[in-house]
Every structure is written in structure tokens, then in C-alpha cells.
């Protein structure tokens, strides 16, 4: 494209570094433990094979089955293209460009910041404490002009749970000033930590959910926003007229059958067991500095030399996710939990790597 045409783009887009998704980064292999996807899935067949009509903006059948699943009224639910659409939608709805701010707490999911950059919204960035909890003192002293606070819980990529008492402190602090958005993409792996029970008590609380993780439907792109009915009404004004395709609506509806909900619950139990197995085995390795506690379908591991082990594993067909570029996560790798066989293969490769280090007299990787 002619360079002069490129200059027509908004300046913040010209300099924008896009989100580095697992698919964008790539990586060659046959065991992919880099995107926090489910390692397996059920197969579905379309029940409706005629697509000449537009679907509903907010399909009643999906809202109804999800309402029943989480015991929340229909008018407190918005269905979106994954929770990613809701992250953007909230900013579009509540933030004035070049005036308002969002707040978030790295290391965390990058799309909060990227959406703010795209939409011309300021960012108040408060780093997490060394234990990956929130710095309440700094949050309190930086609350001016903030309209949205994004808290990923369990946090990606660290896997930890943010203390409920701290979230409630923030809800009260911003009671009449900002919405507190809890991104519960991974909450199905530890439902007891959900903030759902607080929705009635705190009108500025918003919860994001997705079917990409525990429900093994990342390819469908379907998520839910749970909030006060007045917030949902505002979001409905801004959302695209046809956010979900008819095939997506069809399959999501099937996913909430009694049979498939039971399959999902079994999958969650199995992945949690696989995580415990993997942590137990990795604790035996002397080139690992730390394995952080996780309540999700991944673990964050600090290695002595992350780059070297990533290269070694990719040569063996295993792709993980390097987190070293994130704040305070140097030499950290995020490992999605795969099938038990995939976890065993990963452990086998780590033990081969250990042999490789000893043969090269390089156990310290320096």
C-alpha cells in the first residue's frame, strides 16, 4: 500500500502493537499448551441448516439456558462474541475518548490495555504486589477520571485468585464513580471464588464469562456479560446488531443440555487433576525456580533459562507460552493444562532436557 494512504489511519493505530495471540505468534508442534484452550472437545452437529435469515441480536434460547445455568435473571445477561467483545463494549459505552481512563493491574490480560489504546482511552496502570495481589494504597490514590477497573480473576497469566475483600474494597471505593469489571474467564475451574453472589449488592459490579475454556468452545467465540439490568440496557445500545452467527447459537444451545453440562463438569475435574499431577512432577526438577499457585487451566512456572527450554521443547513438538516480556515475569512460562497423556509427554521432555543439561555440564543454564 502507498505510504501516504497508510498515514490516513489514526496515529494511535499506526503505532499500535497488536495483541500477540497464540495463533499470531505461531509455533510448530503437535502438542499445543500455549493458549489455555481445552485439550479436547465434544463433537456437535447443526440442527438448523438454513442460514438466509439474520439471527437475533440477543438470542432468547441462549439467554434462557445460561440464565438457568447460573440462576440469574435474563435482564442481567448480555451474550457477546467471547468476553473479548465485552471488554471493548464496556469501554465504548462508558468512556469518553481522550478524557476518561481505565485501570488494570499487570501482569494481566493484555486486551484491557490494547482496547484502551485503540479507542483513545487513558490507562491507569497499577502493578500488582510481589504476591500478585492488588496494591490498594496505590489504587486509592489514583482513582481520578477512572471509569472502568478491570480485574482478571483467576488472573491470567499468574493463575492466582484476587482476594474478595480487596475486590469489595474497590467496589465500595468506586461505588458512584466507576464500574468494577471482574473477568472470570477461568472461574469454572474454581467456582467457589466467583463474585456472582455479589451482583445484587453492588450495582457497579460487572462480571465477564466465556465458553472458550472449561466448555471447550474457543472456536465458537461466545461469552456473557453479567451486570445490573441498567448496565445491560446500555450495552445493548452499543453492541453490533448480529453479534453471534446462527451456527454458534445452535451449538451453544446444545452445549447447555444436561448431558453436555455433565461432560463439562467432568472435564473441569479432570483438568484440575491433571494440573495437580503436572505440578507434582515439575516440583522434582532442579532447573525450575518457582511454580506459582494456580486455580485455572494453566500454571505459571519460573525457569532458570526460559528461552533455552522453550527452544528445546519446540524442537520436540511442544509449544508453550513465554511470559518473560510481562511485568516482573522474567524467565516465566505459562503452561496450559492438556490431557493426562500430554502432561506426561511434557514431563518426559523436561526430564530429557535435564539429561541434556547434565551432559553439557550446564545445569545452571548460564
Span(s) in the chain for CATH 3.40.640.10: 60-259
| Closest by CA position to 126, among listed 85, 192, 173, 191 | 173
pLDDT at 339: 98
Q: Are 333 and 321 in contact (CB under 8 A)?
A: yes
pLDDT at 364: 46
pLDDT in tens, the chain (366 residues): 566 788 889 989 999 998 888 767 767 788 999 999 999 988 999 998 899 999 999 999 999 999 999 999 999 999 999 999 999 999 999 999 999 999 999 999 999 999 999 999 999 999 999 999 999 999 999 988 899 999 999 999 999 999 999 999 999 999 999 999 999 999 999 999 999 999 999 999 999 999 999 999 999 999 999 999 999 999 999 999 999 999 999 999 999 999 999 999 999 999 999 999 999 999 999 999 999 999 999 999 999 999 999 999 999 999 999 999 999 999 999 999 999 999 999 999 999 998 887 777 644 444
Span(s) in the chain for CATH 3.90.1150.10: 32-38+260-359
- C-alpha cell at position 141: 490514590
If DSSP codes are grouped into helix, strand and coil, which group holds residue 261? helix
Question: Could you name the CATH architecture of 32-38+260-359?
Answer: Alpha-Beta Complex (3.90)
pLDDT at 355: 85
In angstroms, rounded to a whole number, what is the distance separating the alpha carbons of residues 202 and 196? 10
pLDDT at 1: 56
- C-alpha cell at position 23: 495463533
| Closest by CA position to 94, among listed 208, 209, 230 | 230
In angstroms, rounded to a whole number, what is the distance separating the alpha carbons of residues 129 and 106? 10
pLDDT at 361: 64
pLDDT at 251: 97
pLDDT at 359: 73
Identify the CATH number of the domain defined by range 60-259.
3.40.640.10
| Closest by CA position to 104, among listed 141, 140, 149 | 149
Edge-first strand listing for the sheet containing 321-322: 288-291, 298-303, 332-336, 321-322
In angstroms, rounded to a whole number, what is the distance separating the alpha carbons of residues 320 and 17? 21
What is the distance of C-alpha 119 from the center of its chain?
20
Q: Provide the whole-model pTM.
A: 0.95
Q: Give every CB contact of residue 343 below 8 A, 6+ residues apart in sequence.
A: 274, 277, 278, 281, 337
- C-alpha cell at position 137: 494504597
pLDDT at 3: 67
Compute and round to an integer the Cα radius of gyration of the chain. 21
| Closest by CA position to 25, among listed 127, 117, 110 | 110
In angstroms, rounded to a whole number, what is the distance separating the alpha carbons of residues 161 and 337? 18
Amino acid at each position: 500500500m502507498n505510504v501516504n494512504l497508510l498515514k490516513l489511519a489514526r496515529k494511535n493505530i499506526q503505532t499500535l502493537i497488536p495483541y500477540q495471540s497464540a495463533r499470531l505468534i505461531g509455533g510448530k508442534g503437535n502438542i499445543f499448551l500455549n493458549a489455555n484452550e481445552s485439550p479436547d472437545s465434544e463433537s456437535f452437529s447443526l440442527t438448523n441448516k438454513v442460514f438466509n435469515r439474520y439471527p437475533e441480536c440477543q438470542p432468547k434460547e441462549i439467554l434462557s439456558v445460561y440464565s438457568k445455568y447460573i440462576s440469574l435473571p435474563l435482564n442481567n445477561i448480555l451474550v457477546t462474541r467471547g468476553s473479548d467483545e465485552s471488554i471493548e463494549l464496556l469501554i465504548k459505552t462508558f468512556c469518553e475518548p481522550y478524557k476518561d481512563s481505565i485501570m488494570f493491574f499487570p501482569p494481566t490480560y493484555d486486551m484491557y490495555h490494547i482496547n484502551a489504546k485503540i479507542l483513545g482511552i487513558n490507562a491507569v496502570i497499577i502493578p500488582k504486589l510481589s504476591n500478585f495481589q492488588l496494591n490498594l494504597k496505590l489504587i486509592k490514590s489514583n482513582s481520578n477520571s477512572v471509569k472502568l477497573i478491570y480485574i482478571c480473576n483467576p488472573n491470567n497469566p499468574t493463575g492466582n485468585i484476587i482476594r474478595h475483600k480487596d475486590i469489595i474494597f474497590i467496589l465500595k471505593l468506586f461505588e458512584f464513580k466507576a464500574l468494577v469489571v471482574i473477568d472470570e474467564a477461568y472461574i469454572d475451574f474454581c467456582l467457589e471464588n466467583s463474585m456472582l453472589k455479589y451482583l445484587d449488592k453492588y450495582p457497579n459490579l460487572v462480571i465477564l464469562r466465556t465458553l472458550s475454556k472449561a466448555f471447550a468452545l474457543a472456536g465458537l467465540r461466545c461469552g456473557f456479560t453479567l451486570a445490573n439490568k441498567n448496565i445491560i440496557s446500555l450495552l445493548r445500545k452499543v453492541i453490533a446488531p448480529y453479534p453471534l452467527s446462527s451456527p454458534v447459537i445452535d451449538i451453544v444451545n446444545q452445549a447447555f443440555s444436561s448431558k453436555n453440562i455433565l461432560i463439562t463438569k467432568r472435564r473441569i475435574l479432570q483438568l484440575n487433576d491433571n494440573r495437580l499431577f503436572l505440578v507434582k512432577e515439575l516440583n522434582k526438577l532442579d532447573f525450575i525456580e518457582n511454580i506459582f499457585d494456580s486455580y485455572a487451566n494453566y500454571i505459571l512456572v519460573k525457569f532458570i533459562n526460559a528461552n533455552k527450554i522453550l527452544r528445546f521443547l519446540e524442537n520436540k513438538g511442544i509449544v508453550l507460552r513465554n511470559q518473560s516480556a510481562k511485568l516482573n515475569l522474567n524467565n516465566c512460562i505459562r503452561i496450559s493444562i492438556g490431557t493426562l497423556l500430554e502432561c506426561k509427554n511434557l514431563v518426559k521432555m523436561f526430564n530429557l532436557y535435564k539429561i541434556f543439561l547434565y551432559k553439557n555440564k550446564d545445569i545452571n543454564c548460564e
